[in-house]
């Protein structure tokens, strides 16, 4: 029996941790350079954060960028190697998988005023994770999700939810493992928020400065009224 895509996804990040760290630290991803890095930092700052959780923090660039603005942030990621790379440059980081958060949201040691998922929700089953993260928010806290814009990510394939594969061919030769990732439509993202007890507060669509194409979908959400007591 072939391995489930969710397991392959998590393992791909351990296999690609060194290559990913190099790609990010040498600014190899154009969309990040021209728009999406600045967009996520601005979105977090707009929430006037006191304490930030960076979910799926990778090698930790966002935690360090926020520290540069005087903001305390904790980065968590399922890849022990990526967290080791993150710690090399300083900051607060922990190895934690999403299924551990779902099983025990208290393991996050919340609450957080702002929880960020920057290109880090890649699996099919995100509702339970988002519901668990909701319980770690302060009153009036925000969850911010940035994802590759579905119109761009869709490519030539049909515009419908489903598993796809990223080979990282555009990022260099050092990537060892293809990554399964779950494509979802704009409607599917919004349905997942609602299912997790979240409401959309604001939706931004950072564009490529030259082509005008949408690079990402940036969703800022808060807990739905009367859902703050609910458990995932």
Ligand X SMILES: C[S@@+](CC[C@H](N)C(=O)[O-])C[C@H]1O[C@@H](n2cnc3c(N)ncnc32)[C@H](O)[C@@H]1O
Which residues form the interface with ligand X (CB under 6 A)?
A: 9-10, 13, 24, 56-58, 61-62, 77-79, 82, 97-98, 118-120, 122
Nearest residue (CB) to ligand X, 72 versus 224: 72
CB of 97 to ligand X, least distance (A): 4
Q: Between 6 and 224, name the residue whose CB sits nearer to ligand X.
A: 6
CB of 134 to ligand X, least distance (A): 17
Distances in Å between the Cα of 20 and the Cα atoms of 62, 149, 166, 168 are 14, 20, 13, 10
Q: Report in angstroms how near the CB of residue 156 gets to ligand X at its nearest.
A: 22
C-alpha torsion 196→103→85→119, nearest 10:
-20
CB contact at 8 A, 92 and 68: no
Cβ proximity to ligand X, 31 vs 47, nearer residue: 31
Instruction: Pick between residue 41 and residue 137 the one whose CB is nearest to ligand X.
Output: 41
DSSP class of residue 76 equals E
Closer CB to ligand X, 58 or 141, in the complex:
58
Q: CA 148, CA 28: separation in Å to the nearest integer?
A: 16
Q: At closest approach, how far in Å is the CB of 1 from ligand X?
A: 20
Least distance to ligand X, CB of residue 186, Å: 19
Closer to ligand X by CB, 120 or 218: give it.
120
Q: Residues 6 or more apart from 184 whose CB is under 8 A from it?
A: 150, 161, 192
Sheet holding 112-118: strands in order across? Answer: 92-95, 72-77, 51-55, 112-118, 137-148, 216-223, 198-204
- Minimum CB distance to ligand X, residue 139 (Å): 26
| Minimum CB distance to ligand X, residue 22 (Å) | 12
State which residue, 27 or 230, has the beta carbon closest to ligand X.
Answer: 27
Instruction: Give the residues across from 142 on adjacent strands.
Output: 114
Sorted by sequence, the CB contacts under 8 Å of residue 136 that are 6+ apart come out as: 53, 105, 108, 110, 111, 112, 115
Distance of CA 79 to the CA centre of its chain: 14
């Amino acid at each position: 029996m072939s391995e489930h895509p969710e397991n392959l996804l998590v393992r791909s990040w351990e296999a690609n941790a060194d290559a990913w760290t190099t790609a990010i630290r040498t600014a190899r991803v154009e969309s990040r350079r021209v728009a999406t890095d600045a967009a996520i930092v601005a979105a977090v700052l707009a929430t006037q954060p006191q304490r930030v959780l960076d979910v799926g923090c990778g090698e930790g660039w966002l935690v360090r960028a926020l520290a540069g603005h005087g903001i305390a942030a904790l980065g968590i990621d399922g890849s022990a190697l990526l967290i080791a790379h993150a710690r090399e440059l300083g900051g607060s980081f922990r190895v934690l998988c999403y299924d551990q958060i779902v099983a025990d949201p208290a393991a996050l040691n919340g609450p957080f005023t702002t929880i960020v998922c920057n290109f880090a929700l890649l699996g099919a089953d995100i509702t339970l994770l988002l519901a668990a993260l909701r319980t770690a928010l302060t009153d009036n806290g925000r969850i911010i999700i940035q994802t590759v814009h579905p119109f761009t990510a869709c490519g030539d394939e049909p515009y419908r939810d489903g598993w796809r594969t990223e080979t990282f061919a555009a990022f260099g030769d050092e990537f060892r493992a293809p990554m399964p990732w779950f494509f979802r439509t704009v409607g599917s993202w919004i349905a997942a928020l609602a299912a997790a007890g979240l409401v959309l507060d604001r939706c931004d669509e950072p564009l490529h400065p030259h082509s005008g194409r949408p690079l990402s979908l940036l969703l800022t959400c808060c807990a739905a009224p009367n859902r703050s007591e609910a458990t995932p």
